[in-house]
Amino acid sequence: MSSGTQKNIFERRGKIFTFIIFVIIIILLDVICAITFNYIKGEPFSKFLYEEKRRRWIEDLTATEKSYRIPSEIYHHDLKIRASVSLKTTMWDNRQYNLFTDSLGFKSNSVKETSLVSDKYRILFIGDSFTEGVGMNFEDSFVGIVSDKLLLENIEVLNAGVATYSPMIYWRKTKHLIEELGLKFNELIVFIDMSDIYDEAYCYTSGEDETVIYLNEKVCLGQNEADLKQRGLQQADPQHGMKYFLKNNTIISYFFLNKLHDVLLQKEEHPVYDYENMPKYMIAGKRGMWSLDDKLYEEFGRRGLEKSRLYMEKLAELARKHNIKMTIAVYPWPAQIFHNDFDSRQVLFWKKFAAEENIGFINYFPCFLKLNKDRPLKTLDEYFLERDMHWNENGNRLIAETFLSYYSNKTNESFNYCHQGY
Residue 133 has φ and ψ, to the nearest 5°, of 90, 50
Fold of 70-222+285-415: Rossmann fold (3.40.50)
Domain ranges of the chain: 70-222+285-415
The radius of gyration computed from the CA coordinates of the chain, to the nearest angstrom, equals: 26
pLDDT value, residue 36: 87
pLDDT value, residue 84: 93
What is the separation, in whole angstroms, between the first and last Cα of the chain? 86
Strand partners, 214: 204
pLDDT value, residue 22: 83
pLDDT value, residue 226: 42
Contact (Cβ atoms closer than 8 angstroms) between residue 319 and residue 188: yes
Is pTM beyond 0.85? Reply is no
Distance of CA 15 to the CA centre of its chain: 54
**What is the block-wise mean pLDDT of the chain (422 residues), using blocks of 10 residues?**
57 73 84 84 73 68 81 96 86 80 97 97 98 96 98 97 97 98 98 97 93 83 46 43 71 73 58 50 77 95 98 98 98 94 96 97 94 89 90 97 87 52 38
Q: Which residues contact 369 (CB under 8 A, 6 or more apart)?
A: 332, 336, 337, 340, 341, 342, 376
Strands 325-330 and 187-192: parallel
pLDDT value, residue 73: 95
pLDDT value, residue 65: 80
pLDDT value, residue 173: 98
User: Closest Cα to residue 316, out of 208, 192, 190, 201?
Assistant: 190
Q: What angle do CA 354, 347, 338 make, to 5 degrees?
A: 160
